[in-house]
Structure 1
């Protein structure tokens, strides 16, 4: 736990949902809810004013939905991480939100512990998908495709690291799984970003999905 709490804005058009999430997070000393909003437009305005670390947001909302709000936040507040909290385990929803710039996607049935883990993960630059979202996203690909030519510049170990990153693993988990140091994982990660000219974790996930590099049965 860091000394400085993670500042979070909650966005949902159902007050009871916001109140429930706020109550779940208030018990966490490392997280501070600094504001809330009932639609995407208000979320963007709140983010510009309050400058949170993470915006945790629903998808289906009036005035401006989660897709548009995520795009707007990426433009006006690129330092803010967007974590989607939704009841929809729809693959197209998840893909579109990743393409819009979201760093994670969790379902509303997650435990408080997993919600906190997701907030911490995206805050520290990672991507996070709850187990239900991961199964929906990675279980099957309707149209198998070969990796793009630029994927061939990656070494076998880099491809393995990329697959694990896209599957939601953080550096420590990858290091443990591959029996290498965290520093080595970080080096691989930087090499992957450099070779693919992709600088964000969400961008790496998007690349892996588009080029069928993640196939979990």
Structure 2
């Protein structure tokens, strides 16, 4: 492996997808897949151990999705270069991805040639959006957007609510966000009080209705 080799980690919850991406990239002499993960939590562990140049990140995954994982990665490793790989071609996902700091967005159906181009582009510090994604951004940009509702929750509370809705326990949330179990429990009680909700099921329903989870 030369100094110019781009070290890549692939994060996806389907092994067949990981195998397919690895098969595409193993023919590239200047790209080396050094690790894989099947969800956002695993991704954080793998990244901390291997220090990749580029992270190919799926969006829809169990335990921790790609958007939340990217937010955590950028918080812990501000210089990390995350390139989203997904089947979702809609503006809402694209905007969320940009907000959490990903540097690119492309569909899984992308050609091997374009995938390599995307990895190299992002590795150089530039952003990359595949042609389909770019068209989606521009064609849907003119769609009127309703004024957002006032959100009673803080950013931290909203993040914890997302994890609750995804089925994580307070212990798992504490580990994912690198905060104490007691802090998570305090936030959960505050969330219930602010929203006048009394069970985990009600919290999950609220998160789904507000579009906080996929």
User: Which stretches in structure 2 are left out of the alignment for 5+ residues?
Assistant: 146-214
Q: Which has the larger radius of gyration?
A: 2
Superposed displacement of residue 115, structure 1: 0.2
Distance, in Å, in 2 between the alignment partners of 1:19 and 1:143 is 38
> 2:100 aligned with 1:86, yes or no?
no
Q: 1:149-198 CA distances to partner (integer Å, 9 max, x unpaired)? A: xxxxxxxxxxxxxxxxxxxxxxxxxxxxxxxxxxxxxxxxxxxxxxxxxx
Q: Is the 8 A contact 2:11 2:38 kept in 1?
A: yes
Alignment of 1:14-163 (within 5 A): 14-142=14-142
Deviations 1:110-148 (CA, angstroms, capped at 9, x unpaired) = 100000000000110100001111111122423579xxx
Q: Is the 8 A contact 1:53 1:79 kept in 2?
A: no
Q: Which runs of 5+ in 1 are unaligned?
A: 146-217
RMSD between superposed Cα atoms in Å: 1.5
Provide the rounded CA distance (Å) in 1 between the counterparts of 2:139 and 2:95.
13
* Runs of 4+ with >4 A deviation: none
SS at match of 2:97: helix
Q: TM-score, normalised by structure 1?
A: 0.64
Q: 1:105–1:129: 8 Å Cα contact kept in structure 2?
A: yes
Kept in 2: contact 1:54–1:123 (CA 8 A): yes
Q: How much does 1:48 deviate?
A: 0.9
SS at match of 2:23: helix
CA displacement at 1:65 relative to structure 2: 0.2
**Count of residues in correspondence between the two structures:** 144
TM-score, structure 2 normalization? 0.65
